[in-house]
Amino acid sequence: MQMNEFFHTTDRLGLFSKNYLAKMGWHHSINGIPHNNDGLVPWITYPAFRQLKRIVKPDFQVFEFGCGASSIWWAANVANVISVEHDAAWAARVAAEKPHNLTLVVREMDTALDPKHAKALEPFFAANPELPLSPDRLHNIMHGLLSREFMAYAAELMRYPAGTFDVIAVDGMARSLTAWLAGQYVKSGGFVLFDNSDRWQYNAGFRALAAQGFRRIDYYGPGPVNVIEWCTSIFAKSLDPFCNATESPHGDNDLGW
């Protein structure tokens, strides 16, 4: 590579950092906490986040499997948020910034399960879904691969009538099980938001949603904190959530007038 080519490449990398990463606020998340230029944001890909900002409405009811920065963002943009979390210490940290419209519920691993909820969840296991595990138990917990151990966590959604929530976010424990349940409980015309959807280990959850009539829209790209590309997906039965997001806003890449 010639010296002038090197500087040209370096300049272009600098411009990408300035024109995209800085605009998205990536530099504010270098400390490991998903921030943008305005504050806390969900730890999902930027393309998915930009879509959310266009289709989320102030009167939405949201349920999250897994709390965090996303909980704070949701609470600032919708009417009510219910978040279930398996880690009591982490939930306490999030609760320190909790606004009035965010409810945090802790359901740790192996929490006792209501028998009626256990019966309602059993069809998921009876179908013999693919639920791969690694030899590392902590890895399996961290990445939401364990299911039976988190049945009470998943069943927290069942405390609310089906159709209560406009959005159900799958980003915590027992992801395949919670995706299966989310598809049954999300409001008609609502959607399921599934992060890290480029992992084959969650295929049972994707198949369950497909069997319930959901279609998958993938948003690959970078996002806060990470230095890799990954995928966040929206699963919806209809295009209703997108009906009011057909026009393009004024932005940096229009025709300049």
Residue 81 in any domain: the answer is yes
Same domain, 123 and 222: yes
Give the CA distances from residue 175 to residues 56, 192, 200, 232, in Å, rounded to whole numbers and listed in that order: 23, 12, 12, 13
pLDDT digits (tens, 9 = 90+) for 186-195: 999 999 999 9
What's the confidence (pLDDT) of residue 68?
96
Same domain, 10 and 130: no
Based on the structure, what is the number of domains in the chain? Answer: 2
Same domain, 91 and 148: yes
Q: At what angle do helices 175-185 and 203-211 cross, to 10 degrees?
A: 20
CA 86, 39, 144 angle in degrees (round to 5)?
A: 25
Same domain, 79 and 11: no
| pTM of the complete model | 0.94
- Mean model confidence pLDDT for the chain: 94
Give the CA distances from residue 157 to residues 19, 63, 211, in Å, rounded to whole numbers and listed in that order: 41, 8, 20
Same domain, 8 and 113: no
CA 24, 25, 30 angle in degrees (round to 5)?
A: 130
pLDDT digits (tens, 9 = 90+) for 101-134: 999 999 999 999 999 999 999 999 999 999 999 9
Average pLDDT over residues 17-39: 93
Same domain, 13 and 112: no
Tokens 């399996």 correspond to 140
Residue 247 in any domain: the answer is no
What's the confidence (pLDDT) of residue 185?
98
CA 72, 228, 84 angle in degrees (round to 5)?
A: 30
Residue 250 in any domain: the answer is no
Residue 189: in which H helix or E strand, if any?
A: strand 186-195
Same domain, 17 and 72: no
What's the confidence (pLDDT) of residue 138?
96
pLDDT digits (tens, 9 = 90+) for 60-95: 999 999 999 999 999 999 999 999 999 999 999 999
Q: Look up the CATH number of the domain holding residue 78.
A: 3.40.50.150
**Confidence grade of residue 4 (pLDDT, cut at 50, 70, 90):** low
Parent domain of 116? 39-242
Residue 97 in any domain: the answer is yes
**Confidence grade of residue 247 (pLDDT, cut at 50, 70, 90):** confident
Q: How far apart are alpha carbons 159 and 157 in whole angstroms?
A: 5
Provide the token pair at 4.
Answer: 């002038």
Residue 53 in any domain: the answer is yes
Residue 175 in any domain: the answer is yes
Same domain, 15 and 86: no
